[in-house]
A = this chain, B = another copy of it.
Amino acid sequence: MPQSKPEVRQSRASETRKRTRIQLEKEELILEAALDVFASHGFRGATLDQIADQAGLSKPNLLYYFKNKETIHRQLLDRLLDNWLRPLRELNENGEPVSEIKSYIRRKLELARDYPRESRLFANEILQGAPRIGDELSDLKILVDEKAKIIRNWSDAGQLKKCDPHHMFFAIWATTQHYADFDVQVQVVLGGMGQGEGRFEDAARFLDQLFVEGLAP
């Protein structure tokens, strides 16, 4: 019974075989361009022509490296999640509670400052109901539950005020990512005041105060 596979081989570059130099370069180029476009228009609002344009490639050439729009988007999200959750993974059970939380906030704020497009890509996806990332969110839940337990232990030991750990995480995510996701609004409201990256230092100061006074026992 010989299987006659049609051996359809679209977009070879995405096969699991070893990649050539050009493949690695172009894939990076495309992902970079796609990040720009997806972050500022959302999945449905972004077009392959835009991405190809931004990357300086023709559309068919782009599709030689990624078999379709969704694959590009998915890969960006996968890559993102890993970096995005690192600060939370690094929250150390054995550290000093308040300074652990302070440095978690600091790191999240640095991500918002240094990787605003990634933040917006994620925000777009969640905002629109996470239709293409829903599954990965359960991993997030596991991680958060684990870290929430640490917070609760600190609370119980009197090293932190009593508070709902999950909502504490929400508050930290919201306040830090706000500076990336709502950047336009922040800039308008601050006007000339927080020009350049100064606003991130002001934000860091404010958030430090808010959470330390709000959470330290």
* Residues of the B chain whose Cβ atoms lie less than 8 Å from the Cβ of A174: 174-175, 177-178, 182
Q: How many copies does the complex hold?
A: 2
- Asked if A168 lies at the interface with its beta carbon under 8 angstroms from chain B, I say yes
Known contacts A171-B175, A202-B167, A206-B171; A127 and B120 CB within 8 A of each other: yes
Could you tell me if A43 and B40 are in contact, using CB atoms closer than 8 angstroms?
no
* Residues of the B chain whose Cβ atoms lie less than 8 Å from the Cβ of A213: 161, 213-215
- Asked if A126 lies at the interface with its beta carbon under 8 angstroms from chain B, I say yes
Known contacts A178-B173, A213-B213; A164 and B206 CB within 8 A of each other: yes
Could you tell me if B211 and A141 are in contact, using CB atoms closer than 8 angstroms?
no
Q: Pick the interface stretch among A20-28, A53-61, A89-97, A189-197.
A: A189-197
Chain B residue nearest in CB terms to A178: B174
- CB < 8 Å neighbour of A170 from B175, B193, B215: B175
Q: Which of A141, A193, A214 has the most CB of B within 10 A?
A: A214
Could you tell me if A189 and B127 are in contact, using CB atoms closer than 8 angstroms?
no
Q: Mark A174-188, 1 if CB is under 8 A from B, else 0.
A: 110111011011101
* Residues of the B chain whose Cβ atoms lie less than 8 Å from the Cβ of A203: 167, 170
A59–B145 alpha-carbon span in the complex (Å): 47
- Asked if A209 lies at the interface with its beta carbon under 8 angstroms from chain B, I say yes
Known contacts A164-B202, A164-B205, A167-B202; A126 and B181 CB within 8 A of each other: yes
- Asked if A4 lies at the interface with its beta carbon under 8 angstroms from chain B, I say no
Could you tell me if B124 and A184 are in contact, using CB atoms closer than 8 angstroms?
no
The 3 closest A-B pairs by CB, nearest first: A44-B45, A174-B178, A167-B206
Taking Cβ atoms with an 8 Å cutoff, the residues of A that contact B are 40-45, 120, 123-124, 126-130, 134, 137-138, 140-141, 144-145, 161, 163-164, 166-171, 173-175, 177-179, 181-182, 184-186, 188-191, 193-194, 202-203, 205-207, 209-211, 213-215
